[in-house]
Amino acid sequence: MAVLWLFTDTARVSDPVAVVRCLPPGVAGVVLRDDDRTDRAELGRRIAALCRSRRIALSVTGDWRLAAALHAGLHLRAGRRPSGAARHLRALTSSAHGPADLIRARRAGAALVFLSPVFATASHSGARALGPAAWGLAARRGGGAAALGGVDGTTVWRLPRALCRGAGAISALL
Number of Cβ atoms within 10 Å of the Cβ of 3 = 15
- List C-alpha distances in Å: 116 to 32, 62, 65, 105: 17, 18, 26, 13
* Segment 20-63, tens digit of pLDDT: 999 999 999 999 998 888 999 999 999 999 999 999 999 999 88
DSSP state of 123: G
Q: What is the CATH number of domain 4-170?
A: 3.20.20.70
* The total number of residues written for the chain in this structure: 174
How do the domains of the chain map onto residue ranges?
4-170
| Per-residue pLDDT reduced to its tens digit, 60-102 | 998 899 999 999 999 999 999 888 777 777 888 999 998 899 9
pLDDT at 124: 64
What is the C-alpha to C-alpha distance for residues 71 and 58, in angstroms, rounded to an integer?
A: 9
Distance (Å, whole) CA 133 – CA 25: 31
What are phi and psi for residue 18, nearest 5 degrees? -65, -40
